[in-house]
Chains A and B, each alone.
Chain A
Amino acid sequence: MLKVNIQCLAHEDSIFYINELCRNTLELIQFPEERKVLYAIHEVVINSIEATEKRYGKNHKQSMTVAIKTCKEEVEVIVGDAAGGFEECDNKDFSTSDLFSERGRGFLFIKHFMDEVLFENKEDGLFYVILKKRLQTEEKANEQLSCRNCN
């Protein structure tokens, strides 16, 4: 198992470092769907940065965290910030986002690329997005293919 924890300013300048550190981590373990996981992480990170700037202003000193936990079968990523999260995170329905609006499309992509997306709103204002991607074994892929063929 490999665990990598990143803590940095929730600022646009941090995006490059987070992207590169996450890419290097996933490359090290040779995770097959690396690009999709990286895409999802990037989307959550820009949401966190935007939400933090909205809450604290452009010149804030708030930090954010990105934790990657990998094992043979799964990658789990937890992105945390102090921006307060959603008011009703459990009921947030991203599938009905207006696709022609400039924003709101990010979570649609995230949900498509990841197996599980969870939100945790803590009482102290900390907000976490948890992403999980399981390794697609050949056996599972064949099962899905045969199901699709049956339908």
Chain B
Amino acid sequence: MNNYHVEIAIDHLETHSKLFFKGYLIYNTITKVKKILQSVENGVGHYILDMNEVIHIDSTGFGAFVNFAKDLIDEATKIVIVVKDPLIRELFEISQFHLIFPIVETHQEALQLLNEGYQPPLSIHEY
């Protein structure tokens, strides 16, 4: 029995792709999360990863999410994470991932960062 649900929706746009995460990214749903993330085809350009509908992400979900983001990011591909939840933002800060992926609260902020071509404090190689 699994009382926890998860959904990941993907929207490939002209200049970037948006991924919407919804529900629980936790131990109970991790197999499904990994399966969906493995099936994501590389889009064109940059990525916005929206976590505003995430109810709970534990260390297993966080690991899968960060590894997915790490595999996408390179010199030419930028990633911005959208999340308002203070606890989830704190998880990124504890892990110091906010130094390589900008974390903002809205899509507008994310688009602005992508358009401006942000430079994170640390590259993936310096992390």
Give which listed residue, A12, A16, A49, A105, contacts B95 with CB less than 8 A. A105
Q: Does residue A106 face the partner (Cβ distance < 8 Å to B)?
A: yes
A69 at the B interface (CB under 8 A): no
Taking CB atoms and an 8 Å cut-off, the chain A residues in 1-34 that contact chain B are 12-13, 15-16
In the complex the two chains form, what is the Cα distance from A102 to B56 in whole Å?
Answer: 17
B67 and A112 contact, CB distance less than 8 A: no
Q: How far is the CA of A147 from the CA of B62 in the complex (A)?
A: 33
- B94 on the A face (CB < 8 A): yes
Question: Does any Cβ of B come within 8 Å of A134's Cβ?
Answer: no
Q: Are B70 and A105 in contact (CB under 8 A)?
A: no
Residues 68-108 of A, flagged 1 when their CB comes within 8 A of B and 0 if not, give: 00000000000000000000000000000001111101101
Judge whether A109 and B59 touch: CB under 8 Å. yes
B59 touches A103 (CB 8 A): yes
- Chain A residue numbers with a CB within 8 Å of B94 are 108-109, 112
Chain A interface residue bracket vs B: 20 to 34
A42 touches which of B3, B58, B64, B97 (Cβ 8 Å): B58
Give bound CA distance, A101 to B27, whole Å: 16
B15 / chain A contacts, CB cutoff of 8 Å: none
Within 8 A of A (CB), among B82-126: 87, 91, 94-97
Closest to B62 in A: A105
- Residue of chain A at shortest CB distance from B64: A102
Q: Does B44 contact A (CB under 8 A)?
A: no
Picked from B59, B70, B96, the residue with its CB within 8 Å of the CB of A43 is B59
How distant is the Cα of A43 from the Cα of B95 in the complex, in angstroms? 15
Q: If the complex has contacts A36-B87, A43-B59, A105-B62, are A100 and B67 also in contact, measured as CB distance less than 8 A?
A: yes
Which 7 residue pairs are nearest across A and B when measured between Cβ atoms? Answer: A106-B59, A102-B63, A16-B3, A46-B27, A105-B59, A112-B94, A99-B95
Interface set of B (CB-CB < 8 Å, partner A):
1-4, 26-28, 56, 58-60, 62-64, 66-67, 70, 87, 91, 94-97, 127
